Amino acid sequence: MRTARRASNVEVPSFLRQLVKETEKMVTFFFKGGPRERTPEEEENLDDDDSMPSPYLERPVLEKHVSEGGSQLGMNYAVASMQGWRTQMEDAHTCMPRLSGELSDWGYFAVFDGHAGTTVAQYCSRNLLDRILATGGIKASEDPEQVKEGIREGFLDIDSHMHKLAREDSWDRSGSTAAAVLISPRYIYFINCGDSRTLLCHNGKVAFYTEDHKPFNPREKERIQNAGGSVTLQRVNGSLAVSRALGDFDFKEVDWRPQTEQLVSPEPEVYELERTPEDEFLILACDGVWDAIGNEELCAFVRSRLQVCDDLREICTQVIDLCLYKGSLDNISIIIVCFPGAPQVSQEALQQEAELEQQIDMKVGEIIQMMRSRDEDPDLLYVIKFLAAEEMPGLPPGGGITSKRDCIIAAYQKHVMTLRTQEPMDIEGSEEDSN
């Protein structure tokens, strides 16, 4: 049976629904730190062409797609994704907790962050693993060096194949980052191409994480310049924000350079780490997560949520909400893979969480009463700002007051409704006193 602490589902009157709706956008911008500042590049584009479509929506698309699964090997996983502020959803993912045949005790998970279209991300989510397995380097006997070489060859092979398709079938000119893990009984293979990221939480701390491939990294910049390109505004030729990716064939047309020495390289970095009983969980996520929260913060937040909630789907959605209200403007996708050593729900943690939510409820009530004593209308944005400025012990590590937004809104709804029902009685009492 799952234990998940959620805000109460109370019937909300129409006037209050409207109040929350009107303040929701202000609350969003509060957590985002105000309206987003445009980069110099965007300002220049606005001056050049006022009709250029924005990559961002007026309001985020908040619908989440979630799923979960597991295997007899003791691994459980969940995945969640949301379009967010972007005009289209370009992320994709693959979750295979158990491969087939002699690799039935192996697992594979991957996230793909597409850009300039969805074609490459979707194609890789369906076909990359098959390309890796077709190299013959992945065997049950498991030679780590052969496995890593097979992964590398699989990436180069699928990129070369897609390049041919793009020339013959007029694909869109999209690209995609890829962050994946291949899990054997003995090792975890961390795979990265681009700026999506994977980390391992081991014995309560981040034990390993992949490095992002950014154009301004010295090694990446050297390759770009050797291929005749430049790094401007921290982008390849002032355009692409990642230096390694699948697809992006407009940046792979230097015929006299090998496949791995183009402006943008499809070559992944692959590392193996031996598994131990202290391994707790893996996180794979696109940069829509990492732009908003750091490695240690996210590790601490997920670890704290595992102690109060055994529904991994709920924890994934909480991470997405946290990143949205910390300012993420990108598509957001995350996979959490739990090993047998992951934290379990504890009664002590549940009690502490209940006490925290009770404290938040009381604090919200006090703020609303204070506002009413000044003849001010209760304002959700003001309540949240007030709480954010308070020192409140026991908040989720890595999440802070931002991660308790749903609890704050539920308390706000309850106390405002109580005030509204009391107001007619207060008026009647005043009339009786005057008589």
Token pair belonging to 169: 């079938």
| Sequence-separated (6 or more) residues with CB below 8 Å from residue 296 | 205, 206, 398
408, 310 contact by CB (below 8 A): no
pLDDT at 365: 94
Token pair belonging to 279: 């391994």
pLDDT at 425: 53
pLDDT band at 397 (very low <50, low <70, confident <90, very high): very high
Any idea which architecture 1-35+346-426 has in CATH?
A: Orthogonal Bundle (1.10)
Token pair belonging to 362: 């009381």
Provide the whole-model pTM. Answer: 0.87
User: Over the chain, what is the mean pLDDT?
Assistant: 88
| Sequence-separated (6 or more) residues with CB below 8 Å from residue 316 | 66, 78, 79, 80, 334, 335, 336
* Amino acid present at 337: V
Task: With a cut of 90, say whether residue 47 has pLDDT above it.
Answer: no
Backbone angles phi, psi at 273, to 5 degrees: -135, 130
CB environment 147-161: b (16+ within 10 A), e (fewer) = bbebbbbbbbbbbee
Q: Where are the domains of the chain?
A: 1-35+346-426, 66-342
CA–CA separation, 434 vs 219, rounded Å? 82
- List alpha helices for 267-311, DSSP H: 287-290, 295-306
1-35+346-426 and 66-342: same fold? no
Token pair belonging to 199: 């980390």
- Count of Cβ atoms closer than 10 Å to residue 419 Cβ: 17
Q: What is the mean pLDDT of residues 293-298?
A: 98
pLDDT at 426: 53
CA–CA separation, 276 vs 268, rounded Å? 25
pLDDT at 171: 81
Q: What is the mean pLDDT of residues 264-281?
A: 98
For the domain spanning 66-342, the CATH number is 3.60.40.10
pLDDT at 429: 52
195, 246 contact by CB (below 8 A): no
Task: With a cut of 90, say whether residue 212 has pLDDT above it.
Answer: yes
Q: What is the mean pLDDT of residues 67-95?
A: 94
